[in-house]
Amino acid sequence: MSPLSQDAAARRDQYGQLLYDVTRRGLEIYEGRLKPLLEPDHLGEVVAIHVDSGDHAVAASSPEAMRAMRRIHPVGLLFLYTIGPAEDHGLARRMASLGSGARRFSRPADTPGTWRAP
- Per-domain boundaries in the chain: 3-86, 87-118
- Split at pLDDT 50, 70, 90, the class of 117 is very low
Mean pLDDT of the chain: 79
Q: Per DSSP, what are the bridge partners of residue 46?
A: 59, 82
Contacts from 38-45 at CB under 8 Å and sequence distance 24+?
Answer: 38/83, 39/83, 39/84, 42/83, 42/84, 43/83, 43/84, 44/82, 44/83, 44/84, 45/82, 45/83
Query: What pLDDT does residue 37 have?
Result: 94
pTM of the model: 0.66
C-alpha 30/C-alpha 57 separation (Å) is 12
- Split at pLDDT 50, 70, 90, the class of 86 is confident
From first CA to last CA, the distance across the chain in angstroms is 39
pLDDT at 40 over 50: yes
The candidate with the shortest Cα–Cα distance to 50, out of 35, 72, 34, 83, is 72
